[in-house]
Chains A and B, each alone.
Chain A
Amino acid sequence: MLSYQFDWSVVTTGKYFEWLVSGLGLTLQLSAAGIVLSFLLGLLIAVLRMSHFSPLRWFAHVYLEFFRNTPLLVQIFFWYFGSYKLLPMAVNEWLNSTNFEFAAALIALTIYTSAFIAEDIRSGVLSIPKEQMEAARSAGFSYIRSMQYIILPQAVRITVPPLINQFLNLAKNSSLAMTIGVMELTYQARQVESYTFKGFEAFTAATLVYLVLSVVITALMDQYNNRVLNPQRG
C-alpha cells in the first residue's frame, strides 16, 4: 500500500504528454511576450521616475509602489474579474468573446514585473556619474537624447544581471495564470494528476521543464551580456 508505483510513461508518451507540451507552449508565449513588454514598460517607467517634470515623477512613483507592493495573484484577479466593473458593457462583451484569460494574465505579469525592472534600471542609471549627463546637456543634447544615447546604453549594461532575475521570476510567475483558467504548464500538470493520479510524475516533469526554461533564459542573457554588451569583460 505504501509503496508508490512510478510510471513515467504517463508523462513521456500519449495524450498526457501532449497536454504538457501544449501547456509548455502557453508558458513560453506568456514568458516571451511578458519579458519583451515588461522590459519596454519598465524602461518607460524608469525614465518617468527620473523626469524633471514632477507630475510624471509622482505618477511613476505611485505606479511603482502600488504594483511592487501588492500580490501578483491579487493583480491577476483584478485584471480578470475586477476590470469588469470598470469597463463599459460593450467592451466587456468583446473581451469575453476573445481569449481574455491569456490577455489578463499577460497584462498582470507585464505590469507587475515592469515595476521591478524600472527600479533595477533606475539604480543602473543612478550608478552612472551625473557629470556624464551634465556633459551631454552642455554638448547640446536634449534630456531625452542624453538618456537615449549616453546614459541608458551604459545603464542597461550594468542592469543586465538583475534583469535576468526579473525575467526568471516572470517565467515562473506565469504559473499563477492557471488560477483564471489559462492552460499553461502547471495547469496541465494538475490536469494530468487529476486524470491519472500520477501527480508525482506530472509535477516532476513540470519542474524539470521550468528548470530547463530558466537555465536557457539565464544562458541567453549571459551570452548577450558577455558577447554584445561587455565584450571587454568576456
Chain B
Amino acid sequence: MTKKVFWGALAAAGAAASIASADTLEDVKARGELICGTSTGLAGFSAPDANGRYEGFDVAYCRALAGAIFGDPDAVEFKPLTTTNRFSALSAGEVDVLARNTTWTLTRDVDLKNTFIGVNYYDGQGFMVPKELGVTSARELDGATVCIQTGTTTELNLADFFRANNISYEPVPIETNAEAQQQYLAGACDVYTTDASGLAATRASFEAPGEHVILPEIISKEPLGPLVRHGDDHWADIARWTLNALIAAEELGVTSANIDELAASTENPEIARLLGTEGNLGEMLGLSQDWAMNAVKAEGNYGEIFEKYIGEGTPIGLARGLNAQWTEGGLMYAPPFR
C-alpha cells in the first residue's frame, strides 16, 4: 500500500513536472512573475542596491521581458547564480531565463542544450597596465607577469595570444575580480587581463585611474547574451524578440520618453507594428498587443539601457564601439518587425 502511494505520488510529480516544463510562458503567467538568473554581482551588469533592488545592464533586459509579459517591469524575481551553477539552474527549471553575461559558444549552445536568444553585449578580452611601464601595445609584454582569473576562457585566450606572438609571460592566478584589483594595485603583477568591460569598470574604481592604461588589443570574441533552455521554442521566441524590440526601438528612435507620443501619432509603419498600433505581432507571440511598448517602457530602449548602466556617463564609462547600431558602424542589428 505504502509503496503504491509512493509510486503514485512520484508519477504524479513527474506528470506535473512534464506539464510544467512544456510551456514556460503559461508557467510564468500562472506564477505571476518571471524568474531571472543573474550574476551574484558584476559592476554595471547586475548588482543589488542598498534597498536590495537589482540593477544593471543584464537586469534591465529581464525587467523588459517582465514588462513584455506582464506589463509590469517589477514582476520579476532575480536569482543570483555563480559561473558554476548557472547552467544547471537553467536546465533544472529554477530560472526561466539566464541573463548573466554569458559568452555564446558552440558548446554551451549545443552540448549544454541551451538556446542563446541573441547578443546584448559584444565584449572581448583586453589588457590593463600601469602607465609608468610605458607599454603601448600588448605585443611588448614579453616576460610580463599577468594577473588572470582561473577557470575562465580568458586564461586560454591569453595562452593562445602569447604563443601566437612568440612572447613569454608568467601567470599569477587569482579567483575574483576584487582580488585581482588588490593584487594588481599591490604590484603583484604587471598586467591585468579580463573582458574589456571589466577592465574599464575596474580602472574606474581606482584612486588614480589616469595612471593606468587599457591597451588597444582585443584578443578574443566574447559575445554575451541571455539564454533559455532547449525544448520551448515559443518561450525562446518571446525572449529573442523582446531583446530585438529593445534594439529596434533604438534604431527607430523610440525612447521611453517619446514612446507614448509615438504610439498615438506615428506615421512610420514599422514603428506602428513594433508598438502594436498596427498588425498583430503581439498576438502571434501570445502576448498583449502593446508588449514591445511595455518592454521599452521598463528601462528604455537598448541605447538608453546602455547609457544608464555602462555608458560613458557612468563610472564604468564604456564607449558604444561594437555595440552601436549597425547604422552607426556597430553590430547591433535587429531583424525587421513584420
**Are A and B genuine complex partners?**
no
